Amino acid sequence: MSHPFRFAVQSASASSAGAWRDLARRAEGSGYSTLYVADHYVDTASNGGQMLAAVPAIATAAAVTDTLRVGARVLCIDYHHPAVLAKQAATLDLLSDGRFDLGLGAGWVTSEYEAMGLTMDDAPTRIARLADTVDFVRRFFGGEALERGGDDSIAAAGFRGEPTPVQSGGPPIMIGGGARKVLTLAGRVADIVSFNFDNRAGVVGPASVQSAAASVMEQRIGWVRDGAGDRFDHIELEVGAYFTVVTPDTAAGAATAEKMGGMFGMTADDMAAHPNALIGTVDEICDRLVERRERFGLSFVTVSDRNLDAFAPVVARLAGT
């Protein structure tokens, strides 16, 4: 089953109240479905830095718009106590009239953990904790009496979740990742699966970019399908178009793909076909998106705020189709 196209904007660059409010209104006015912010607290070489904290930024974006969905892509569970995270998520959903997406991730930026004085457990431990967190917030959203399970890594217990979210069952949960274990978990428990690089090394480089190439996309979707079973068709598949360049002509796009591919040890063709890349004219990008939805099921695309205006013609043509 093909989902209609949706498009989101993600920002880490807004650094003032006016700029952030303006970005939210521009995204809404340009037809984007969603505005996401990342979840970084200290400026490191790996994360590129971020001025605004995620939760208050999300609340502000919701307050100055009417239809725009808001959220984080994604909140690192190790940066947020689970009970606080669940209450903040339910409150954001309530105060936005049901326009909140809850993006959750297991964490990956080694340098940020170190700068914040946090212990970064191995990937299997973090992913198991992510699974426990999803279970906890789902139960919180349902207003259940929260008690600790025998093997649960979350100690919070002895109370009921409130407030009740506006969206039935709580905000849709997005889980992002690039490796088998986290993508299988995402297929099992998420409403939106965000395909990212395999960032197990804790930094972004040629190896991580190559780990998400088109040649391995069907395998990665298979991992999601393994976790999802018969609910697979109900899951939205999202990808961040980190390498978006809208060009005036085909030759310029080819030159850009060649130059960018060289940075990551890839050919121009492989770079142009990369699921996290959208390089070319508006017509070429639209054709590529339709082809990727037919081939992979990718229907939800997030672009950087720096591409909001240049990418808007694509949004106008494809959103909702």
How is the chain split into domains, by residue range?
Answer: 6-318
Predicted pLDDT of residue 296: 96
Grouped pLDDT means (10 residues each) for the chain, 321 residues: 93 88 98 96 70 94 98 96 97 98 93 93 95 96 85 89 96 93 97 85 72 91 97 97 94 93 93 96 98 97 97 98 97
Predicted pLDDT of residue 202: 52
Predicted pLDDT of residue 199: 64
Q: Is the pTM of this model over 0.75?
A: yes
Of the candidates 166, 163, 160, the residue with the CA atom closest to the CA atom of residue 139: 160
Predicted pLDDT of residue 44: 67
Does residue 177 sit in helix, strand or coil? strand
Does residue 63 sit in helix, strand or coil? helix
Integer Cα distance of 250 and 260 in angstroms: 15
Joined together, the tokens standing for residue 132 give 């426990």
Q: 6-318 adopts what CATH topology?
A: TIM Barrel (3.20.20)
Predicted pLDDT of residue 266: 93
Of the candidates 163, 263, 46, 236, the residue with the CA atom closest to the CA atom of residue 271: 263
Predicted pLDDT of residue 203: 56
Are 101 and 172 in contact by the 8 Å Cβ rule? The answer is: yes
Integer Cα distance of 76 and 95 in angstroms: 22
- Where would I find the beta strands (DSSP E) of 27-97? 34-37, 69-72, 75-76
Predicted pLDDT of residue 207: 80
Predicted pLDDT of residue 194: 96
